């Protein structure tokens, strides 16, 4: 009887597992003010950094040609990558073919050198 597990009916179902872990309190006005102040400072810093960049108009005008050049370079990179893979395949396949030829010549040599056993009947 000691091994009998009786279910506890007072346990609430786990329908809302994370409900108690949520922070439902509102932020204070002071905290909201400090957060908005930091957001304003960060946005002002970003605007200032954009102001410091020289030749913004020229950079924006050259953007399509820059994308075109980078796309062409990417295609060229993949074509070279294909050639590199072909060269690696050539070396690996030549090495494997050499090993297979050496193995076949070794086997032919061993077969030709083997002395056949002569069965002596008495």
**Hey, where are the domains in the chain?**
29-111
Q: 62 vs 59, 65, 70, 106, CA distance in Å? A: 5, 6, 12, 66
Which residue shows structure tokens 């609430």?
Answer: 12
Predicted local confidence at residue 35, as pLDDT: 92
Q: Whole-prediction pTM value?
A: 0.42
Q: What is the pLDDT of residues 93-120, one digit of tens each?
A: 999 999 999 999 999 888 888 766 666 6
Residues 6+ apart with CB under 8 A from 50: 56
Question: Distance (Å, rounded) from C-alpha 89 to C-alpha 53?
Answer: 48
């Amino acid at each position: 009887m000691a091994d009998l597990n009786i279910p506890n009916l007072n346990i609430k179902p786990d329908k809302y597992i994370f409900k108690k872990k949520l922070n439902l309190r509102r932020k204070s006005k002071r905290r909201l003010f400090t957060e908005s102040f930091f957001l304003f400072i960060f946005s002002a810093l970003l605007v200032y950094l954009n102001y410091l960049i020289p030749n913004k108009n020229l950079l924006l005008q050259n953007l399509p040609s820059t994308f075109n050049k980078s796309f062409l370079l990417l295609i060229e990179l993949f074509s070279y990558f294909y050639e590199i893979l072909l060269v690696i395949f050539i070396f690996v396949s030549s090495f494997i073919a050499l090993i297979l030829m050496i193995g076949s010549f070794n086997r032919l040599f061993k077969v030709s050198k083997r002395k056949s056993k002569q069965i002596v009947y008495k």
